[in-house]
Structure 1
Amino acid sequence: MKEGRIVQAIQYTVLALGAILVLIPMYLTVNLSFKTQMESAQSFFAPPSGLFLGNFAAVMKGKFWIHMGNSVMITLVSMLFIMILVPMVSFAISRNFKRGYFKFVFYFILSGIFVPFQVIMLPVLKHMSSMHLLNQMGLIIMYVALSFTQGIFLSVGFLKNIPLELDEASTIDGCGIVQTFVRIIYPLMLPIIVTIVTLNSLWIWNDFQLPLILLNRSPNYWTLPLFIYNFKTDYGFDYNVAFAGFLITMLPIIVLYGFMQRYLISGLTEGALK
């Protein structure tokens, strides 16, 4: 009994420390976003005396909305292709897993999890440059391709729990493979699809490396992470304006994660264990 309480106390202590590590940066981001430079110089950690919105106005000047539009477009288009292609490929693999070719394809795609991005970074740059894809379309193609490893792993695991009798019943009713997938299998996959969408949206929206490699030809192609990274060039060292930019950038994805959190946890559990 006493040992159980000690373990529980340690668990709560670790959770509390983790919460503090997350909440302190969040507090500083919100705090500095609504402060003037004079207030920050007087007291860095004290709450603001009022809601100063000048930092947000400074962020939104110039090309901010262009970069916001780039991030929204790239994220939405990438997610559209991921929502279509990953379930289709996963369905084909899961229903033909006993065949050697499909099993090989599955493990070949899965092996990408063990390859660090730094290993393929230079070859990706070389090949995308040779195909004239150092632009937003090339970035979308890379996001879709790189999403396959995790997405197919989770989706195939999820599909293994959907009985083959459903496929056979739909065939008896006159449905082809496409109709079976669209009308029966895809709706049943919605929990894992929502999970894949949430995980990849977080990654694509916040990604810095791929946009830095593929979108460095023109500032007009930049996404929000690149825009935030170049704050020091446009705004000097105005930390209040920079933190206002951080807050604006975080808000859309925080809202999305808040709505999708419960589906994310259930989908990850079902896709990884079934």
Structure 2
Amino acid sequence: MVNIIFTILTNSMAAYVITRYRLKNKFFNMMYYYFISAMFIPFNVIMLPLVKEVSAFYMDNILGITFLYIVFGLPQSIFLYSGFVKGIPTALEEAAIMDGAKPYQVFFKVIFPLMKPMHATVAILSFMWTWNDFLMPLVLLSDPHQQTLQLAQYVFQGQFSTQYNLAFASYVLVLLPVLLMYVFFQKYIIAGVTSGSVK
């Protein structure tokens, strides 16, 4: 939940600034392509150096991995938010500025509420990714007491036998939240992705 809240707040702000200024400033244009290029780098490539850095900064815990989920979700979120922000007329921001609104007021009172479909899309995709992720917690979390549900399921597999009855029961329990969330919010995912991809 913390991951979703901070992802929506930070990533939407970053995407808004980059999208609005990338045509006026080369730095923001470079930042846009820098973040988008990170989508093409698989986690396996950076896994070993990341483990060393995380251990050096004592981030091998739940707070550290939550921060990493927010950072690693930034490229996809910027890509989605950027396509959505392009469809918001700049006249709305100009009108708010003429009424005396500060830059942060323009974002939080005008732009942020208009992003609701994209907020829902980013929240659902972020939840599904972090909930189902197995590899990152496996290599980064050092404390067995902080392991995620996906790691906890690994105990049903032993060296010589596997408790399939308990394993599959746990799989169903872990699958249910994601399945229910997707069923109830499917229209928001489709609407958000399509509106952000055709601009």
Query: TM-score, normalised to structure 2's length?
Result: 0.96
Deviation at 1:93, TM superposition (A): 0.8
**1:66-77 counterparts in 2 under 5 A?**
76-77=1-2
Provide the rounded CA distance (Å) in 1 between the counterparts of 2:32 and 2:147: 34
Question: In structure 2, what is the equivalent of residue 23 of structure 1?
Answer: none
Provide the rounded CA distance (Å) in 1 between the counterparts of 2:121 and 2:112: 14
Question: In structure 1, what is the equivalent of residue 9 of structure 2?
Answer: 84
Question: In structure 2, what is the equivalent of residue 100 of structure 1?
Answer: 26
Letter of the aligned partner of 1:228 in structure 2? Answer: Q
Deviation at 1:195, TM superposition (A): 0.5
**Aligned: 1:188 with 2:114:** yes
Question: In structure 2, what is the equivalent of residue 179 of structure 1?
Answer: 105
List runs of 5+ in structure 2 lacking aligned partners: none
Question: In structure 2, what is the equivalent of residue 25 of structure 1?
Answer: none
Provide the rounded CA distance (Å) in 1 between the counterparts of 2:120 and 2:181: 11
Letter of the aligned partner of 1:231 in structure 2? Answer: F
User: 2:124 touches 2:182 (CA, 8 Å); kept in 1?
Assistant: yes
**Aligned: 1:119 with 2:84:** no
Deviation at 1:237, TM superposition (A): 2.4
Question: In structure 1, what is the equivalent of residue 165 of structure 2?
Answer: 240
List runs of 5+ in structure 1 lacking aligned partners: 1-75
Provide the rounded CA distance (Å) in 2 between the counterparts of 1:193 and 1:258: 17
**Aligned: 1:227 with 2:152:** yes
Query: TM-score, normalised to structure 1's length?
Result: 0.70
Same amino acid, percent of matched pairs: 38
Provide the rounded CA distance (Å) in 1 between the counterparts of 2:54 and 2:110: 38
Letter of the aligned partner of 2:162 in structure 1? Answer: F
Give the count of matched residue pairs.
Answer: 197
Deviation at 1:218, TM superposition (A): 2.2
Deviation at 1:233, TM superposition (A): 4.0
Provide the rounded CA distance (Å) in 1 between the counterparts of 2:190 and 2:66: 26
User: 2:3 touches 2:66 (CA, 8 Å); kept in 1?
Assistant: yes
Provide the rounded CA distance (Å) in 2 between the counterparts of 1:238 and 1:128: 33
Query: Deviations 1:163-220 (Å, cap 9, x if unpaired)?
Result: 11011000011101100100110010110111011111101001001100111x2221
User: 2:134 touches 2:151 (CA, 8 Å); kept in 1?
Assistant: yes
Provide the rounded CA distance (Å) in 2 between the counterparts of 1:108 and 1:240: 46
**Aligned: 1:261 with 2:181:** no
**Which of the two has higher C-alpha Rg?**
1
**Aligned: 1:205 with 2:131:** yes
Say which SS state the counterpart of residue 76 (structure 2) adopts.
helix
